[in-house]
Amino acid sequence: MRIESEIVHIETDIIEETNITETIEELLRERSFSQLKGMISEMNPADLALIMSELPEKKVAIFFRLLPKDLAAETFVEIDTDMQEDLIHTFSDVELREVFNELYVDDTVDILEEMPAGVVKRILRNTDRETRHVINELLQYPEDSAGSIMTTEYVRLNSSLTVSDALAVIRRSGVDKETIYTCYVTDNNRLVLGVVTARMLLTSSPDKIIEEIMATNVIVAKTTDDRESVVTALQKYDFVALPVVDDENRLVGIVTIDDAIDVLQEEATEDIEKMAAITPTEKPYLKMTAWGLFLSRIPWLLLLMISATFTGMIITSFESSLASQAVLIAFIPMLMGTGGNSGSQSSVTVIRALSLDELRLGDIFRVVWKEVRIAVLCGGCLALACFAKIWLVDRILLSNDEITLMVDLVICISLFITVLTAKIVGAILPMLAQAIKLDPAVMASPFITSIVDVLSLIVYFRVATAVLGI
């Protein structure tokens, strides 16, 4: 007998996706619903969500109704907020209940957080009392806390069960749990006693008692912990789930690895945005309005522009000296640029190391000492290259007579000192930010550049005054 399996390859089959959407539109137009049903009932929620995003708006609701109940719910989680809201408006109360009954509570909460008040009320009105209670509790955890990303649907076992009893518990209740691969052993007060994984259960003899096989050193998060540390712990210990306890150490939920990965990506994006002086946004780029993106960018641009007042003041105060040695002006952008780049390299490296927990505050002297050595190497190398380049290109090739040996020296000495300063400032500021509980990521390129701009100008004009006597 031949089994018909459909093998989908993650890279090449993306191209075929558009064809699938076209076929589906065709079938919708022809109202060949039963054929369509057969086709999509085997598909993946994530792919279905992608297809829905490409369908004409009017067809979305029809398409969604063709999905089997459980798949419909799973797909509903994957589509974007706007489409969720539109669909909810087309739902009857019965349909609404059907979808939301199939969802895990943490997914429901994620959806509620994005919906307008009216929709939230309607959803809550259509959930049973117990679920509503859980939802309301989860909604109260602060954003970015472990409580806000946990789910309450986990498998809880009694330590006196046998392995085969435990497997029976999983068989009975597992379908509704977000993961069955890590089960928690608690006493009657929900105090955590141990952990058993599905692997332990499956590879132990059926008549063993849970208490004998469970691991008793349990690593837990508190509901109020930063969600980032939960992710770090999951990654560090290679767990698929981490238990979350309240202040009395009672188990209240778990965070699963798939939610953790999403947090990881979000946090990396946030860091990158902050490093580029952008207020982090939650939505994908194409979903943001131009106005929303403008609002996330303009405060920093204004702040950094105003801070450039200092560079202007420094230049103005040296205006007369510059008038006598106008050639010096031409090298201001190069000096400031190289200083900015040098400082950014250091600050970004340190910021990333801090966020990956590779660095702690106590390492600050090791970091500075390392950066000083790197700065001497970089500064020396750049100064030499710059000296040669100015002489060969600007003096000889472009025959700029204003460039004397002394002028060249002034530029290169300033460059060396600027690079040194920039790298030290770039390394220290993120660590200081961490020390005073600020996010180190804001101490990245734009901020460092603004500081280095001022420092490099001061250095440049001091060196020029000293060497050239202007």
167 binds a second copy (CB under 8 A): yes
Q: Which is nearer to a second copy, 5 or 92 (CB)?
A: 5
Six-digit token string for 17: 């996706």
Instruction: Report the C-alpha gap between 446 and 308 in whole angstroms.
Output: 11
| Segment contacting a second copy by CB under 8 A, of 7-15, 65-73, 97-105, 135-143 | 7-15
Binding to a second copy, residues 442-461 (CB under 8 A)? 444-446, 449-450, 453, 457
382 binds a second copy (CB under 8 A): yes
Q: Give least dist CB 114 to a second copy, A.
A: 17
**Residues in contact with a second copy, shown as a per-residue x/- string from 24 to 63 under the rule CB under 8 A:** ------------------xxxxx-----------------
Place of tokens 């965070």: 255
Q: Which is nearer to a second copy, 96 or 431 (CB)?
A: 431
Q: Which is nearer to a second copy, 126 or 339 (CB)?
A: 339
Alpha carbon 356 to its chain's center:
12
Given 20, 61, 120, 327, the residue binding a second copy (CB under 8 A): 327
Instruction: Report the C-alpha gap between 375 and 243 in whole angstroms.
Output: 45
Q: Which is nearer to a second copy, 152 or 197 (CB)?
A: 197
Q: Listing from the earlier edge strand, what are the strands of the sheet with 155-157?
A: 155-157, 182-186, 192-197
Is there a contact between 345 and 427 (Cβ–Cβ < 8 Å)? no
Beta-strand pair 251-256/241-245: antiparallel
Instruction: Report the C-alpha gap between 384 and 378 in whole angstroms.
Output: 10
Given 61, 124, 218, 467, the residue binding a second copy (CB under 8 A): 218
Six-digit token string for 221: 């998060």
| Segment contacting a second copy by CB under 8 A, of 59-67, 97-105, 135-143, 314-322 | 314-322
Binding to a second copy, residues 334-363 (CB under 8 A)? 334, 336-338, 340-342, 344-345, 347-350, 352-353, 356, 358-359, 363
Q: Which is nearer to a second copy, 55 or 382 (CB)?
A: 382
Q: Give least dist CB 461 to a second copy, A.
A: 12
Cα–Cα separations (whole angstroms), residue 372 to 215, 334, 350, 366, 404? 47, 21, 14, 10, 30
Q: Which is nearer to a second copy, 61 or 332 (CB)?
A: 332
* Residue type present at position 437: K
Q: Which is nearer to a second copy, 83 or 192 (CB)?
A: 192
Is there a contact between 149 and 174 (Cβ–Cβ < 8 Å)? no
Residue 367 is inside which H or E element, if any?
helix 364-389
Return contacts of 215-223, CB within 8 angstroms, 24+ apart.
Answer: 218/184, 218/192, 218/193, 218/194, 218/243, 220/192, 220/244, 220/245, 220/249, 221/146, 221/245, 221/255, 222/146, 222/246, 222/247, 223/141, 223/145, 223/146, 223/147, 223/150, 223/252, 223/253
Given 105, 111, 196, 233, the residue binding a second copy (CB under 8 A): 233
393 binds a second copy (CB under 8 A): yes
Binding to a second copy, residues 170-189 (CB under 8 A)? 170-171, 174-175, 180-181
Q: Which is nearer to a second copy, 11 or 130 (CB)?
A: 11
Which of 449, 322, 427, 339 has its CA nearest to residue 383? 339
Binding to a second copy, residues 248-307 (CB under 8 A)? 249, 257-258, 260-262, 264-265, 268-269, 271-273, 275-278, 284-286, 290-291, 293-294, 297-298, 300-302, 304-306
Instruction: Report the C-alpha gap between 138 and 131 in whole angstroms.
Output: 11
Tell me the number of residues near a second copy by CB under 8 A.
Answer: 143
332 binds a second copy (CB under 8 A): yes
Q: Give least dist CB 231 to a second copy, A.
A: 9
Q: Give least dist CB 180 to a second copy, A.
A: 5
Phi-psi category of residue 281: left, alpha or beta, with phi > 0 → left and psi -120 to 50 → alpha: beta
Q: Give least dist CB 273 to a second copy, A.
A: 7
Binding to a second copy, residues 111-140 (CB under 8 A)? none
Residue 254 is inside which H or E element, if any?
strand 251-256
Q: Give least dist CB 85 to a second copy, A.
A: 20
Q: Which is nearer to a second copy, 126 or 341 (CB)?
A: 341
Q: Give least dist CB 266 to a second copy, A.
A: 10
102 binds a second copy (CB under 8 A): no
Q: How many CB atoms neighbour CB 416 within 10 A?
A: 22
**CB burial readout 170-191, b (16+ within 10 A) else e:** beeeeeebbbbbbbbbbeeeee
Is there a contact between 427 and 359 (Cβ–Cβ < 8 Å)? no
Q: Which is nearer to a second copy, 136 or 249 (CB)?
A: 249
401 binds a second copy (CB under 8 A): no
